[in-house]
Amino acid sequence: MMIPLDQLHALQAALPGGIVDAHHHLWDLSAGHYPWLQDDYDGDRFFLGPYRSLCRDYAAENLRADTVPLRIAASVHIEAERSRREQVAETRWVAYIHRRDGLPSAIVAHVSFLQPDRDAVLAAHASEPLVRGIRSKPVTADAPGGSVRGQPGTMQDDRWLDGLSKLQDHGFSWDLRGPFWHLAEAADVAAAIPGIPIVLNHCGLPLDRSEDGLRAWRAGMERAARCPHMVVKLSEFGLRGGVWDGATTIRVVREAVAIFGIGRVMYASNLPVSSLSAPVDAIIGAILAGLPNHEPETLQAVFAGNARRFYRL
């Protein structure tokens, strides 16, 4: 799906300085250790399928090039599963890239809420002014109907929940990533931590686009939307095996916006991972097709303003 020229021009006119990409990754395989890219390749288990094309350096210049014909005014780097022994090193490397290349504009770092030195790692992240939040993924079931309750690292684990609560001590937000069948649990967790801003990654991962699957996703999203401190990233709409379904993606965007409202959704590319299923113009085209209108105020909110406000850019 290409972006229709009239919509592209409307977006460029609404944001002459460029858009804000609220979720992307960068890596230099010579500067750090990324086990999933260098040691533990497992294209059979990765939900988007084989990802050999990602096993190369991805820099700010690649991000800019992949977003043409749109300009990037600001961006948010999300932890890229660098070795968990190098969590603070990743933050410092991204800060260096910001100083050198002008992007990214903010950092979402990683810490395990169960690791023994959790508090020290959080404090080290907090010492870097670009860090705005943490992405730490809860343990989740592999499919709807599965259960991981009682396991360490789940959203019912008291130790994990205690670690999550520590984000408030540093003014950090939480990037929540989990599949749609855990949205109701995530909403319960969110309700208990009203002081921590939360952004739901990848639109709640609506991986099942059947009517039953979308109904379950919608119910979870409606539960999550009751938490006023939760917002949503319109990102990563790829399906299992890297399949792209433009028609259902437009529907997902339309319903997510209807549930959360224009003021609580934001564009995010998830580059370079999203390239496994679709180019950026297809992603942006689907988002534009799912919006209720293309008034400047709507485009400014979805493609820049909401991300600037949430991540304090």
- So what's the pLDDT on residue 50? 94
How many C-beta atoms surround the C-beta of residue 246 within 10 A? 15
Q: What is the pLDDT of residue 28?
A: 98
Task: Give how far the C-alpha of residue 18 lies from the chain's centroid of Cα atoms, to the nearest Å.
Answer: 19
d(CA 204, CA 126): 27
Strand order across the beta sheet in which 173-176 lies = 19-24, 72-78, 106-109, 131-135, 173-176, 198-200, 230-234, 265-267
Listed in sequence order, the residues at least 6 apart from 247 whose beta carbon sits closer than 8 Å to its beta carbon are none
- The pLDDT value given to residue 145: 82
Sign of CA dihedral 70, 75, 81, 83: positive
Helix, strand, or coil (residue 194): coil
Fold of 5-311: TIM Barrel (3.20.20)
Say if CB 41 and CB 272 are below 8 A apart: no
pLDDT at 149: 85
> Do 134 and 174 contact (CB within 8 A), yes or no?
yes
Distance CA 305, CA 20 (A): 8
What separation, in Å, do the N-terminal and C-terminal C-alpha atoms of the chain show?
30
Q: 278: Cβ–Cβ under 8 A, 6 or more apart, which residues?
A: 237, 238, 244
Q: 141 in helix, strand or coil?
A: coil
What pLDDT is recorded for position 30? Answer: 97
Q: Please classify residue 24 by burial: count the beta carbons closer than 10 Å to its beta carbon, then call 0-12 exposed, 13-18 middle and 19+ buried.
A: buried
Determine if the peptide bond prior to 197 is cis (ω within 30°). Answer: no
| CA pair distance 3, 132, nearest whole angstrom | 31
Q: Where are the domains of the chain?
A: 5-311
pLDDT at res. 83 = 97
Q: What sign results for the dihedral spanned by CA atoms 160, 165, 166, 170?
A: positive
Per-residue pLDDT of the chain (313 residues; tens, 9 = 90+): 689 999 999 999 999 999 999 999 999 999 999 999 999 888 888 999 999 999 999 999 999 999 999 999 999 999 999 999 999 999 999 999 999 999 999 999 999 999 999 999 999 999 999 999 999 999 998 888 888 988 999 999 999 999 999 999 999 999 999 999 999 999 999 999 999 999 999 999 999 999 999 999 999 999 999 999 999 999 999 999 999 999 999 999 999 999 999 999 999 999 999 999 999 999 999 999 999 999 999 999 999 999 999 999 9
> CA 178, CA 31: separation in Å to the nearest integer?
29
Identify which of 309, 312, 223 has the alpha carbon closest to the alpha carbon of residue 265.
Answer: 309
Q: Are the C-beta atoms of residues 10 and 299 closer than 8 Å to each other?
A: yes
pLDDT for the residue 45 = 87
